[in-house]
Structure 1
């Protein structure tokens, strides 16, 4: 391991749980249900159960590994320590590239709700700059802003659900549409892969392992709390959307929750939902920037990214060069592309990231084990199944992304020799 300066341990269970919760809720509630409904109709309910189970298996692996290796980098470090440099690199590369695209997508999602027409890209770039500045000034600032954002999002979601079920209530006649299995198991598994994107936020807790107090106790507890709360929220939102709009209605709109509210007798609440969507996107973007910086720091320490990025700010104890560099990349992507449809692409990288995590956790010795091995086996198999059932374009872009990463590392190793 590198001898570069360590980050400061300032996060407790509450703040770590909130960072994971903010990452998951922001990404999923306002982004993942539309493509999932297009793939599976009302069968997305089964897909949600599958995605939650896969997320649980992966979360147990991440928690077990993070307790044994409480440092920045998440599965990049776990893969290197348990399996070797190449598996670790592939996990880290998938996380950094996929989540950089996700960060741009979250910034554009925020701007779609908050910006005047024609100003979306400028507002998205401004959001990246402001949140990078928050992260730059220390992880306690990140946790503090996340706390405010999560509370605001939960309040907006509660109001939205109350608005849909209040008044005349939704029409249950369209709840299941043609049936839960109308799109077949392939569609259901595809929806599970897309919905898994919404659960990936707990990885942010593990990637920040170097900044958590008492990591062997705090990280597993925080991951379990964040994931459990998120599963309950997603189940409530999924049932509400299907009851209000039907599976075809959910699939036809990029803003299903706002449309569900507008269709009821409490339509005046719709602006509150839009504000909640904007705030949720900011929370996800904030956590993405933090997690990307820590994984990039770990990769730079091992020279899998330019070593210049491994610097830690002497005062704020954050990977400031990595965060600023990634912010510039995210802003460039926002300026030249619209990535709000990047969910499948991100899911490809994240699922392979967790495949490495499950294999690494399976190899841990008995003294480091917290969960039975069958959870790692089930999680690994499920990751592969969900990857191969993703939309073909997403899978093709994912394969191309990893081919570029492999070529980069091969060239770097040859140059270093």
Structure 2
């Protein structure tokens, strides 16, 4: 069977992480989050980043121990059980598929504002976008990586531009104003956690990364830290320029921030950059989802067709096709907020299991792991950061609407049924 090609170094891998994190979450959801947290939306990003860092440390250790594209599936299978490994892998696949749909809808929102005469509906725009980036995912990882580098520089420039615009406005509002109290800040942190989804996708590139046990842990931590600093500064600048209540009703919030500061040309520029940003996120999510499907399905004879690799392009072409179809199906929901919250449930459930798996692994091992990255701060054998990651993920999960939680439980049950069918 053909194998994937190792083409990625630390620079490309980190930029792919930053590229996916700095996508739709900040360009699209900052408006909805500001409507809940008010001027304190920056604090929501801080809270969400802490949860991301705790779990990021667990991912970093696992990726240093195991280098496989199946990621979460492999980690949980080797530390807890094969069945639970399949279920967490199933959850993560759906996380990525729903994320791709959510970001594609965000892309469509900016596109519709930018080209109002092109009135075909956001769902059709989202579906077309998914198809285009799926073709790039199929074409090759090196080509996708360099396209990601270009898009990441553009989207980062857009965010730095927003920060620059807000410099002379710093201090013009009360940054601790909470219209719904601290409860609103916590609810917004559960929503904006979507903006941090992406660092875990780096592990899906392990089989296409050079020296993955060193490169992947570093890329995970670097991508979270870089993104966190940018998010906090952008959130402060945004509410300094445009009031939180106006941000809340905007379909293109950062473009509207630029328009208030510099006029219509700035709106046009930020809208175009937002298209590159959200497009970049779609690309990396689709790559991550198809590689995870490939990594899981190669372990199950009944699913072996999904793990086939194109002898021409050296990419998992069947998994790429499946990913595109499923993401388009989720985009039919049409509401980015709902889709993002569904994504967050799946992510929180996955993070709970990943942190539990690391705790279980540490308790079982006879000698400490010393050949790679090890999450810091342990009490006896128990990694403190994994415990904090577990409970903080559980806490944020229950900040989500009840219908989202119930839908997520249904998704978990579905994973159990599918496992029985393919085992």
With normalisation by structure 1, the TM-score equals 0.91
Is 1:91 the counterpart of 2:109 in the alignment?
no
Residue number in structure 2 paired with 1:137: 139
Residue number in structure 2 paired with 1:162: 164
Residue number in structure 2 paired with 1:338: 334
In angstroms, what is the RMSD of aligned CA positions?
2.1
CA spacing shift, 1:32–1:123, aligned 2, 3 Å: closer
The answer to whether the 8 Å contact 2:201/2:285 transfers is yes
Is 1:388 the counterpart of 2:402 in the alignment?
no
Residue number in structure 2 paired with 1:409: 419
Q: Report the more deviating stretch, 204-213 or 309-318.
A: 309-318
SS at match of 1:146: helix
Residue number in structure 2 paired with 1:80: 77
> In structure 2, what is the Cα distance between the partners aligned to 1:61 and 1:240?
32
Query: What aligned pairs does 1:2-401 form with structure 2 within 5 A after superposition?
Result: 5-115=2-112, 116-165=118-167, 169-170=168-169, 172-176=171-175, 179-303=176-300, 306-334=303-331, 336-341=332-337, 342-362=339-359, 363-364=361-362, 365=365, 366-367=368-369, 370-372=374-376, 373-401=383-411
> In structure 2, what is the Cα distance between the partners aligned to 1:129 and 1:214?
32
The answer to whether the 8 Å contact 2:165/2:237 transfers is no
The answer to whether the 8 Å contact 1:146/1:283 transfers is yes
| Per-residue CA distance 1:268-320 (angstroms, 9 max, x = gap) | 31111101111111010000001101111122122298221011222322211
Offset, 1:180: 4.2
Offset, 1:153: 1.1
Q: Report the more deviating stretch, 87-96 or 346-355.
A: 87-96
How many residue pairs end up in the alignment? 404
The answer to whether the 8 Å contact 2:105/2:123 transfers is yes
The answer to whether the 8 Å contact 2:110/2:252 transfers is no
Where structure 2 has 5 or more consecutive residues not aligned to the other structure, the ranges are: 113-117, 377-382
Where structure 1 has 5 or more consecutive residues not aligned to the other structure, the ranges are: none
Residue number in structure 1 paired with 2:379: none
Offset, 1:41: 2.2
CA spacing shift, 1:316–1:265, aligned 2, 3 Å: closer
> In structure 1, what is the Cα distance between the partners aligned to 2:396 and 2:80?
23
> In structure 1, what is the Cα distance between the partners aligned to 2:197 and 2:166?
27
> In structure 2, what is the Cα distance between the partners aligned to 1:262 and 1:49?
26
> In structure 2, what is the Cα distance between the partners aligned to 1:78 and 1:252?
41
The answer to whether the 8 Å contact 1:90/1:353 transfers is no
CA spacing shift, 1:96–1:120, aligned 2, 3 Å: same
The answer to whether the 8 Å contact 2:204/2:288 transfers is yes
